Amino acid sequence: MSDSFFILFLLSNILLSVIFSIIILIKRTLKIQITVSTQYHISVISLLALIAPFIPFHFPKTNDFFGWIVNLGGTHSGLSHRDSAGKMAEAIGPNANWVQDFAMSFEQSSFKMIDSAFFAVWILGIALMLMTAVYSNLRIGKLKKSLQIVKNKELLTLFDTCKEEIACRRKVILGYSPLIKSPITFGVIRPYIILPKDISMFSADEMKCVLLHELYHCKRKDMLINYFLCLSTIVYWFNPLVWYLSREIKTEMEISCDFAVLKKIDQTLHLKYGEVILKFASLKQRTSPLLAASEFSSSYKHVKRRIVTITKFQAESPLLKVKSALVFAIVAAVILAGIPSVSILAMHKETYSFSNTNVDYKDYSTFFDKFSGSFVLFDSDRKKYTIYNKKESTTRFAPASTYKVFSALLALESGIITKNDSEMAWDGIRYPYQEWNQDHDLFSAMSSSATWYFQKLDQQIGEARVRDYLKSIHYGNEEFSDPAHYWMDGSLKISPFEQVNMLKKFYYNEFDFKQSSIQTVKDSIRLEESNGSVLSGKTGTLVINGEHHGWFIGYVETVDHTFFFSVHIQDGKLAAGSSAAEIALSILEEKGIYQSGSQ
């Protein structure tokens, strides 16, 4: 359940709501300390937080709390008694028939179905909101069709004068329409200012106030904000704070334009401007909040706020501007600090990004046949990667039994076991594989891939230390959920590319562990020797919700240097560790790196 997009989206909405609440609190508390323009711009930059859930940030240690919530009640899995590969054992040892696998099968709980249902409801809501938005904005098309271009010379002269006063360089179309009772502005690339057909009731001064107000919308390109607000309410249709923010921004947009007009006109016209707003308020038509346009008229509630702004208007002092800049910076910092934690893709952590340019991309599709998968190879001598299928090579999957390499390393480093003292008594539980139903030491457990042995190691190590270990060695997405199944149930994930890097760090002991611990694990995963080269590695087979996955990771030590490799495959019913091993060995043989004696 840790890969649930919608649940993570809901969690990100909780954080968004917290961020918006903080911003609203700051604005209300410091309202008299900031300018009208700053209040509007604070609301505008808060829109950045709405984009954050879809930005792929990858900051470490920002999502532990949310990972815990997501995994609580998420994937409750158990080892299936079904063997997907003909009940073959992962026998590991020199010259042994090690190309075999156990299948660990997991079914996600009904929580997954609930999540899917919520996701479907969210998509349905978006579809309905989108249709509503399209229907609402059909009004703009009707206005364009009914448009009559203004030809009145006096009005056009006044219009040009207003454009010059505010230095509006954009080409704006001015027209009439019998379909409206209040001025309206729309259009991003080509802005339109549409006036009611009957404007004879307004004096030249009143008309100047209206034109200045609408031209400020055009100059500032407020229509872009309107379209973004429309999109935001569609995507976040279930979040009341987003609806509130949308209404608030539209009101503040009008108030900030009012304030800009007041600074341009003579003070004797301030009262007249307020009267114009009140006139149009009485003519207010009911419009959709999804309309991507700016209307001069407002509801009586919002008109009251606009009139209060006019009555309290005074020139902004230098000190007020400094305070405003400081508050704006604080709010911007709050938003920027919160964005990484809000990011779904950061919490999702389903892919790994790398910037290494020394990569050779190859087409090995013929080796994979019916499987979807990837191959990654690192040449330690040339310091170069060879990759087949970049997308899947950086996609994270549950590591299955391949994690046992690092589980054993932690147990050795923690002193739970040693090379000569690693035997554990069988717990008496009857497992589906006969090889598991006996006492094991590290070497036999690794050879037969006895899952219970490694689960017992984790129990003795303790959850806290395992969590710290995953983070300290940067293993995949570093997630830890169910202590017994975290490397099988889909919470802990790692990409094939990361598998190669982890093996490289392990081989060269970049973890700075005891060399004896490293060597013991190396000995336990040694598979075979052929023509002077040694092959070491670990297979893994896993079935999650009927989807089969196969892994084979390892390295080849030649006379000259070492090659590290990783193969991951997936398929409806046939993918397994044995198949992944066959693919890896075939590619290694073609490249002249290793020819297995087991093939």
Put residue 400 in one of left, alpha, beta given phi > 0 → left and psi -120 to 50 → alpha: left
Contact between 214 and 296 (Cβ < 8 Å): yes
Q: Helix 204-220 to helix 153-165 angle, to the nearest 10 degrees?
A: 50
Alpha helices in 189-317 (DSSP H): 204-220, 222-235, 240-264, 270-281, 300-311
Give 503: exposed, middle or buried? Use CB within 10 Å, 0-12, 13-18, 19+.
Answer: buried
**Sign of the dihedral through C-alpha 196, 200, 202, 203:** positive
The radius of gyration computed from the CA coordinates of the chain, to the nearest angstrom, equals 33
Cα end-to-end distance, the chain, whole Å: 38
Handedness of CA 324, 330, 336, 339 (dihedral sign): negative
Contact between 257 and 298 under an 8 Å Cβ cutoff? The reply is: no
- Rounded to 5°, the CA angle 34-40-46 comes to 105
In 343-450, alpha helices (H): 344-348, 365-368, 390-393, 404-414, 442-448
CB 241 within 8 A of CB 21: yes
Which has the closest alpha carbon to 481: 113, 103, 76? 76
What are the backbone angles phi and psi of residue 460, rounded to the nearest 5°? -75, -30
Antiparallel, parallel or unpaired: β 192-196 and 173-177: parallel
Q: What is the DSSP letter of 440?
A: B
- Active-site entry in 401, 422, 566, 578: 401
Q: Are 549 and 560 in contact (CB under 8 A)?
A: no
Question: Would you call 116 a catalytic residue per the annotation?
Answer: no
Which active-site residues does the annotation give?
Answer: 401
